[in-house]
Structure 1
Amino acid sequence: MTDVQDRVADLTDRLAEAAVTGMTQAVWADVQPDKVQIFEPSGRTRTFKQVNDNANRLVRLMRNAGLKAGDAVALLCSNRAEFVEVLSACQRAGFRITPVNWHLKADEVSYIVSDCEAKALFAEARYPAGKVAGDESTQLLLKVAIDGDVEGFLNYDEALAPLDPSNITDPSLGNQMMYTSGTTGRPKGVYRPNPVVPTATASSTRADYNRDEHVQMCAGPAYHAAPLAFDVRASMANGVPLVFIDKWDSELVLKTIAEKKVTHMHLVPIMFQRLLALPDEVKKKYDVSHVKYIIHGAAPCPPEVKKAMIEWFGPIIHEYYAGSEGGAGFFITAEEWLKKPGSVGKRPQLLQVRILDDEGKDCPTGVPGTIYHQLPPGGGFQYFKDPEKTAKSRVGDFFTLGDVGYFDEDDYLFLTGRDAETIISGGVNIYPQEIDNELVKHPAVDDVCCVGVPNEEWGEEVKALVQLREGFTPSEELKQEILQFARQTLAGYKIPKTLDFVDELPRSPAGKIQRKKVREPFWAGRTRQI
């Protein structure tokens, strides 16, 4: 072997050993200490060494507060260096991290912080929900404010300043628990008893990182499972710089790709559409020929949009299909997709996938049914503190995300629908029961059913069908009053875009709203894809 090959082999061995204890960041800090790891939207940067030093300080801060391996940490933070630092600290100290959606209302944030049993809360000062959660979550041992001062919280920079930045000597691999809303009630954590060891390669998705040449961009919110996995964690594991975008601006994103020489990124279809909508003269201003890898998923992507992106960027547009719960996972390259437009990939080889009808029987080729993914050895995941929801998602050692699809004669999966409960708008899951629960509180509302209806830009949008109480008359004024009522308790993206008054809503003999019947007229003549 040559000296170069020896060094590569040595680094590979070091990374594999470090991954088992969550210390990958420490290896990269040793190999390339002064290289910029994080480019923030503000223009501030952090090197690999700076991120690693702060991760060690954070472990000591949390341990001094009484946290032990296995304890939970909640993180309410935008796309900035502190997000990566807290994540890296949890990875090496055996803590279970839960990133929290900062778009949520205060009571929703408080619920997640309490439900995940967080012992520490790191909250960016610009989000008032952080203080509310800190005040209401009685189990917290440590509250830290990022980028500002919050009453009752330690200041992030001041708290870390006096602490030892050297690598901790007793690391243990941390865990992660994302929250995915249920169709009824509150969101639930997707809990895996055993943490997943991060890897320094992404051969299964053909990302093929080269730390000397590649640059990752995170244009979506880092708290979301896909940007967290494909952008944040991938860049951390592979030692490549990460460029954060805080708020979507199509030309800014394109400019950033060109100026920072971004090579890898995760996007969702609404981002494709917004980039394609830029005037030709704007698109021509920015060189994107260096981009090597774009992966997308999470929402419907119109075939013409994907084809246009492939024509613009080349055959580097890859697609995945999976969920926070895990499963076999599907992946398809641009070349495959052009031969099988609309498919999300071929049947995986390692874990099985079944298509079952309403009676639990396997569907024949070409016949749609509910998609069930095989659980990995050991059982995979549970919905945190919700055995009933866990059991309902299972058939034997298979589980479902509620998606509907079929395999063609070549074993390629095509998604044709989703259970009626879930709305995906711009890549974000919205659960209508939660909206129903708020709207029905209005004194004029007797019954309500929210569904997803077609939207050319977002894939779907929320529509509310409202049955009024006796004595109330439909009017535009009442419609706006009900929507304004919803804005007081629901996050903005959950507010119905439209509201229709109806005489009666269909319910089953058991009293359950028949959401599928309500939805069907809006999708007549159209295929509802995921």
Structure 2
Amino acid sequence: MNDKDRPWVLIGDERRSTADIEARAARAARGFEELGVRAGDVVAIVLRNDFPMVEATLGAGMAGAYVVPVNWHNTADEARYVLENSGAKVLVIHADLLASMGDIAPAGTPVIVVETPPGLVEAYPSARSAAAGPVDMIAWDSWLDSYAPKAPPFAVAPGSMIYTSGTTGRPKGVRRTPPTPAQAESSLAVMRQVGGLLPYVGRMQDVVLLIPGPAYHSSPNGWLFALLRMGANVCIEPRFDARRMLERIERERVTHVLAVPTMFIRLLALGEEVKARHDLSSVVHVMHVGAPCPPHVKRAMIDWWGPVISEHYGSTEVGAVTWCTAQEWLDHPGTVGRVVDGTEVVVMDAEGKVLPPGQSGEIVCGRATYPDFTYHGDDDKRRRSARGRLVATGDVGWFDEAGFLYLSGRASDMIIFGGTNVYPAEIESELTKLPGVADCAVFGIPDAEYGEQVCAFIQPKPGVELDAEQVRNGLAAHLASYKLPRHIEFVDSLPREDTGKIFKRKLRDPFWEGMERKI
């Protein structure tokens, strides 16, 4: 494929021009309409990173419909809830996921099945037995071929309706109003700033974006489709692998990368010979999002990759609201940045009073030109999240005197030990510094005397043996005694998503079974 075929999308080892993908998406738009999908309706997809995921998302948007990307790690019951709650008119699903989840579609909902391609079977060996799907399925490729493309002008795409993780019960879909032209341009302006795209205005065909994580997540989903529409080239990995990520950057001359801190940890764990082998000089901008990054990890990445590591903070509901460069972070270690243009971010106490710099409280933010949202089917939850014209993110943090924001952690993750607030992120950051610790998860469990106590699950590095007292002694020099984990468990592996992000609820829920706690 030569320059005239730019922009393109590369998934695994297969490359297609964006023009070809959009032509197939237009067929999908016509097909969705023939199945009764109208503007404002929902198309649900249970798809791994694959071309039909891109085609179905773009096609639904051309028809004016929302896309609900369902986390395919969900249990069948969890997936069924999302499909029912969203009111999905059509389900598009990979064959092996249909085989493992079973009958998750509401009665009467058309199900279109995508054959699981060899690249995904290689990445997910469990997919092998059901890669082709049932013989009586509506097959994606033949279904597309049966429709002529929908002709422009297309409807305004309302975007993806992402279901939040549900810290206090069932997840809710963030349903945003379709953007006006002014709102769309405002969002693009923020993405150009935060995404390191300002030098590429007018020549987006020179951008090569790497998406190494699953696109059902809010951030990769948003950046992927925004940059596709801007005209960038996009590499999408079937599954994150640290070594392959370096190979991909070198081979495709990747310029922009979207990452999460766990990816940094896995990259840094590669041997020095492996790290030195790859030419990463094409990378000009790395965005990391999704979770607090331990300072020593971020500093090590900047030492290795140079001053290309940026960070932004926000949420599915409000988008990116703060941003910092590598140098700003080095000057203000631990920050998630200053407020982006056109956005308001404040820190409030429990009574709604705005707090001064240095005082920690609830992070509340918003952007007047960002499309408003509600939680699908739960307007009350939307009203509860409102703080005047702004929205509570669910995070706790503070500003310094220079206007840089810092996170303490999720309000829902906070451990209340005898009336004292303890934030797991602080403890996890110190744990990952200890020799022999590969990764960890910290959360609160019941305590008859103090209400909650700190619990830590720790994954040692291969061949390393740790004991609880050794860990506590290592933490004692840096943390107050009430922050030290009273309950420690060592495990060979922690339950993770493909990004490496830990499914903390799977560890925490058994401790709270039969007890009341908002988690």
TM range (shorter): 0.7 to 0.9
Q: Residue 383 of structure 2: SS of its match in structure 1?
A: helix
Counterpart position of 1:140: 109
Q: Is the 8 A contact 1:268 1:296 kept in 2?
A: yes
Counterpart position of 1:117: 87
CA-atom RMSD in angstroms: 3.3
Q: Is the 8 A contact 2:52 2:114 kept in 1?
A: no
Q: Is the 8 A contact 1:464 1:500 kept in 2?
A: no
Number of residue pairs matched by the alignment:
428
Does 2:157 align with 1:174? yes
Does 2:96 align with 1:126? yes
- In 2, Cα distance between equivalents of 1:145 and 1:121: 11
Counterpart position of 2:206: 213
Note the alpha carbon deviations across 1:406-440, whole angstroms, 9 max, x for none. 111111111123213479xxxxxxxxxxxxxxxxx
**Unaligned ranges ≥5, structure 1:** 1-30, 424-450, 468-482, 516-530
Q: Is the 8 A contact 1:109 1:130 kept in 2?
A: no
Percent identity over the alignment is 33
Q: Is the 8 A contact 2:321 2:345 kept in 1?
A: no
Q: Residue 89 of structure 2: SS of its match in structure 1?
A: strand
Give the direction of change, closer, same or farther, for the CA distance of 1:419–1:316 in structure 2 (3 Å limit).
same
Counterpart position of 2:56: 86
Does 2:402 align with 1:410? yes
Give the direction of change, closer, same or farther, for the CA distance of 1:257–1:279 in structure 2 (3 Å limit).
same
Note the alpha carbon deviations across 1:383-421, whole angstroms, 9 max, x for none. 111122222212222221221111111111111232134
Give the direction of change, closer, same or farther, for the CA distance of 1:421–1:325 in structure 2 (3 Å limit).
same
Q: Residue 274 of structure 1: SS of its match in structure 2?
A: helix
Counterpart position of 2:76: 106
Per the TM alignment, residue 207 of structure 1 is displaced from its structure 2 partner at its CA by 2.6
Give the direction of change, closer, same or farther, for the CA distance of 1:118–1:160 in structure 2 (3 Å limit).
same
Q: Residue 329 of structure 1: SS of its match in structure 2?
A: strand
Q: Which one of the candidate residues 157, 160, 185 is aligned to 2:169?
A: 185
- In 1, Cα distance between equivalents of 2:61 and 2:45: 13
Q: Is the 8 A contact 2:96 2:133 kept in 1?
A: no
- In 1, Cα distance between equivalents of 2:511 and 2:205: 59
Give the direction of change, closer, same or farther, for the CA distance of 1:339–1:129 in structure 2 (3 Å limit).
farther
Note the alpha carbon deviations across 1:23-47, whole angstroms, 9 max, x for none. xxxxxxxx97734622222x22222
Counterpart position of 1:519: none
- In 1, Cα distance between equivalents of 2:188 and 2:349: 39
Q: Is the 8 A contact 1:74 1:99 kept in 2?
A: yes
- In 1, Cα distance between equivalents of 2:351 and 2:44: 41
Per the TM alignment, residue 347 of structure 1 is displaced from its structure 2 partner at its CA by 3.1
Moved more, 145-154 or 491-500: 491-500
Q: Is the 8 A contact 1:118 1:139 kept in 2?
A: no
Counterpart residue type for residue 140 of structure 1? T
Counterpart position of 1:54: 24
- In 2, Cα distance between equivalents of 1:132 and 1:382: 30
Q: Which one of the candidate residues 311, 315, 321 is aligned to 1:329?
A: 321
Q: Which one of the candidate residues 493, 504, 515 is aligned to 2:503?
A: 493
Q: Which one of the candidate residues 278, 282, 306 is aligned to 1:286?
A: 278
Note the alpha carbon deviations across 1:439-490, whole angstroms, 9 max, x for none. xxxxxxxxxxxx88736255635675599xxxxxxxxxxxxxxx9xxx9xxx
Per the TM alignment, residue 234 of structure 1 is displaced from its structure 2 partner at its CA by 3.6
Give the direction of change, closer, same or farther, for the CA distance of 1:514–1:183 in structure 2 (3 Å limit).
closer
- In 2, Cα distance between equivalents of 1:67 and 1:498: 40
Q: Residue 420 of structure 1: SS of its match in structure 2?
A: helix
- In 1, Cα distance between equivalents of 2:136 and 2:510: 45
Note the alpha carbon deviations across 1:3-32, whole angstroms, 9 max, x for none. xxxxxxxxxxxxxxxxxxxxxxxxxxxx97
TM normalised by structure 2 equals 0.74
Does 2:217 align with 1:224? yes
- In 1, Cα distance between equivalents of 2:188 and 2:177: 22
Counterpart residue type for residue 40 of structure 1? I
Counterpart position of 1:158: 142
Give the direction of change, closer, same or farther, for the CA distance of 1:124–1:499 in structure 2 (3 Å limit).
closer
Counterpart position of 1:350: 342
Per the TM alignment, residue 141 of structure 1 is displaced from its structure 2 partner at its CA by 4.2
Does 2:175 align with 1:204? no
- In 2, Cα distance between equivalents of 1:184 and 1:139: 31
Give the direction of change, closer, same or farther, for the CA distance of 1:65–1:219 in structure 2 (3 Å limit).
same
Q: Residue 126 of structure 1: SS of its match in structure 2?
A: helix
Per the TM alignment, residue 286 of structure 1 is displaced from its structure 2 partner at its CA by 0.6
Per the TM alignment, residue 320 of structure 1 is displaced from its structure 2 partner at its CA by 0.4
Counterpart residue type for residue 192 of structure 1? R
Does 2:8 align with 1:37? yes
- In 1, Cα distance between equivalents of 2:25 and 2:511: 54
Q: Residue 248 of structure 2: SS of its match in structure 1?
A: helix
Per the TM alignment, residue 83 of structure 1 is displaced from its structure 2 partner at its CA by 1.2
Counterpart residue type for residue 207 of structure 1? L
Q: Residue 266 of structure 1: SS of its match in structure 2?
A: strand
Counterpart position of 2:421: none
Does 2:37 align with 1:67? yes
- In 2, Cα distance between equivalents of 1:387 and 1:422: 26
Per the TM alignment, residue 95 of structure 1 is displaced from its structure 2 partner at its CA by 0.9
- In 1, Cα distance between equivalents of 2:518 and 2:26: 52
Counterpart position of 1:16: none
Q: Is the 8 A contact 2:336 2:406 kept in 1?
A: yes
Per the TM alignment, residue 203 of structure 1 is displaced from its structure 2 partner at its CA by 2.4
Q: Residue 173 of structure 1: SS of its match in structure 2?
A: coil
Q: Is the 8 A contact 2:205 2:233 kept in 1?
A: no
Per the TM alignment, residue 240 of structure 1 is displaced from its structure 2 partner at its CA by 2.3
Give the direction of change, closer, same or farther, for the CA distance of 1:117–1:207 in structure 2 (3 Å limit).
same
- In 2, Cα distance between equivalents of 1:212 and 1:327: 25
**Unaligned ranges ≥5, structure 2:** 117-131, 416-423, 433-437, 449-490, 496-500
Does 2:331 align with 1:339? yes
- In 1, Cα distance between equivalents of 2:233 and 2:309: 21
Per the TM alignment, residue 235 of structure 1 is displaced from its structure 2 partner at its CA by 3.1
Q: Is the 8 A contact 1:192 1:380 kept in 2?
A: yes
Per the TM alignment, residue 244 of structure 1 is displaced from its structure 2 partner at its CA by 1.7
- In 1, Cα distance between equivalents of 2:140 and 2:229: 25
